Amino acid sequence: MDWNYVSYCSCTFGSRLICNVFFFYYVYYFIEVYKISNAAFQVSQVIFLLWNAINDPLFGMFQDHSSAKWLQSRQMNIYYGAPLFALSFMTPWVPVCDILGTDSQLVKGLHLTFSLCFWDAMFSFVLLAHCSLYTEITSSEEQRVQLTLYGQVAAMLACWTVPLVEACTQFGGSRGLYVSTLSIALLSAFFIGWTGNRTQSLVDRSAAAKCHTLNKAPTIKDLFSRAYLKLNSELFFTKDFQAFVWMNFINTGIVMVASNFTKLFTEDLHLFSSSKMGKILFFTLMMLGSRMLVLVSYPAVNKWGAFNIVRASFVFLIMSSVVLSLFQHSAMVSLQILLINTVPDATSSFGTLFISNIIAADTVRNERELPLSSMFFGLNALVIKPSQSLFPMLVAYWLQLSGGGLNDSSKRSTEAIVRFLWLVPLVLCTLQLAIFSLYTLRRPDTHALQAKTFSGEMGSFERNYGSVLENQKVDIKPSPSASTI
């Protein structure tokens, strides 16, 4: 067992504790409990979308190029961000309107806007550093698949939070909600902080920054400089990055809609109206399902590659959607809800692996001193994070049109929900299959790239960073011939 991987996955465990609950319940609570209007919901999501477009590249630039010691270190970003991340998780569950004694839609809209923006700021700051650390503690696709497996075990161990909150709210009401979410937040802060305190990277960014000319403290003005925009354009329009990021945009949207609206859909369709325990067990299986899929598929990923397994998942969802369109039985509807909650989420687990391969290929191709991990993950987030707002907005609009009311379950059309469950996955997975076919790093040969390092065909990064990966120690030295990003 690699204890450095275990330390790294402590953040995976801690973040999943709160992410599972936040994404599963926040839409339900604002629509069904707080009774937010469609207009206030849509405005809040638009503001959230704009904030998403700003904060990820901003954090990416500061984490990759800052001269501040605590910003240079991925581990310190995670360690200091942990308590604030946990605090942001608690904001949706505070009954602001009850405290203020008002039923104002403006207050409800401001509450949702603040909750989403505060949450996303801390989510981006901590997990951007965590994803970048993934790239910097592994050196090959085999190691990344192994670390992904560790991460799935950690995520699976965190699957109990949604069933716990569901049980506490079913049997303990609002008091049960507050006690369970606060306990989860405290646990999350501890485990996320553990990663920041214990994980060791193969790359000493603080040492490299002393001789890196571009690693001076960046400013907001630098975001709009010609050199920075040119670099971002160069990274963004890489063919493999384009193929991955637009597939990931759609996949993130499906995951978000499934997470946000499953509780709403199961109640409107009366799938578990006669059994509270049946609903809790279904949610438990739903949380465990994606992790179990990744663990079971591990031998297949090693044999055929993550690329082929991900494409097969698109075909599988297309087939299940066709079957549901023909046989709209309640059992088939329940199965489809389970599949759209598990298969796309399992697919997203390989996202860090794909983008790490893209980062490694870019570093070699452009002979960079250091991998631009945060910038790549920031650009990825720039594209996919708006889907976290856009897709729920479109679903809310669909429900509004089909039934005439967003926050009134009696007016929502069950036929429209069932049609949504087969039509939308059918169209979106077909698009994903076509887009991701353009991805070329299907089985990247890391060892071949490292062999070129020592034959003199690559730049100084490979001479230094390649040796770091090979010898498991840091020895980065700048070279006048290397590209200074």
C-beta neighbour count of 361 within 10 angstroms:
18
Q: How far apart are CA 149 and CA 47, in angstroms?
A: 36
Helix (H) or strand (E) holding 428: helix 414-436
Residue 56 pLDDT > 80: no
Share of the chain above pLDDT 70, in %: 81
Average pLDDT, the chain: 81
Name the pLDDT band for 3 (thresholds 50, 70, 90).
confident
Give the model confidence (pLDDT) of 332-344 as tens digits. Answer: 999 999 999 999 9
Q: Which of 67-71, 81-85, 108-112, 472-476 has the lowest mean pLDDT?
A: 472-476
Exposure b/e, 201-240, CB count within 10 A at least 16 = b:
bbbbbeebbeebebbeebeeebeeeeebeebbeebbebeb
Which tokens is 420 given? Answer: 């949504």
More confident residue, 467 or 180: 180
Provide the pLDDT for residue 450.
42
Residue 219 pLDDT > 60: no
Mean pLDDT calculated for residue range 125-130: 87
Are the CB atoms for 149 and 298 separated by under 8 Å?
A: yes
What's the distance, Cα to Cα, between the start and end of the chain in Å?
37
Provide the pLDDT for residue 320.
95
Give the global pTM: 0.73
Give the model confidence (pLDDT) of 411-462 as tens digits. Answer: 677 888 899 999 999 999 999 999 999 998 886 554 444 434 333 333 333 3
